[in-house]
Structures are given as structure tokens and as C-alpha cells.
Amino acid sequence: MPEIRFQIELPDGSQETCYSPSLVVKEYFTPGSEYGLTDFIERSRTALNIASDRVKAKYGSPCGLALGQLAQIEAMAGKYGNVAEPKIRLLKFIE
């Protein structure tokens, strides 16, 4: 399966690189676009669960890396609960 990474900018200006075992994330995000925190989490949850399911269909078990990445994104979101209208910017895909 083709893996992909995507670089994001968080509400505080810091950057993170995220992982997906599938290119499906390209269907949910556009480089240079900004997403509200809740929208970003929902899109991430959908895309990474689909990616994990694709791995399960091919190899027989879900992708722990994709599910771990989702857990990291959800944990990161908690840091910005007190920020008014927090935004996440998708900077680029790294293939």
C-alpha cells in the first residue's frame, strides 16, 4: 500500500508530520487549506479509519500506526480547547 505523510501547522504555529498507510487522506485534505479544529479531527478520523480498514482488508488486521496517529491527533486537539476558533492548516503531503 502506498504510504503518505502530511505536514500540518497547529494553532500555536508549531508543525507536526502525520502518517497514513493509504493515500485516502488526499480525498479529505487539500494542501494550503485551513480547517477548524473539529472539522480537522472529523476528517482525520474518517480518513485514518478508512486507511486502517484498507490495511485490515489486505493484511488481516487493522493498521496500528494509523490508529495511533489518530489518537495523537485527538490528544493534540485537547491542547487547544481554550483557543478561540482554533485552526489547523494542511501544509503539504510528503510522498
> For 34-51, b where at least 16 C-beta lie within 10 A, e where not — what string?
ebebeebbebbeebbbbb
pTM, two decimals, is: 0.93
- pLDDT bracket for residue 77 (50, 70, 90): confident
pLDDT bucket at 8, cuts 50 / 70 / 90: very high
Beta bridge partners of 8: 16, 90
pLDDT digits (tens, 9 = 90+) for 52-66: 999 999 999 999 999
Confidence of residue 19 (pLDDT cuts 50, 70, 90): very high
Give residue 83's pLDDT.
87
Average pLDDT, the chain: 95
Domain boundaries, the chain: 4-94
Mean pLDDT, to the nearest integer, of 18-28? 97
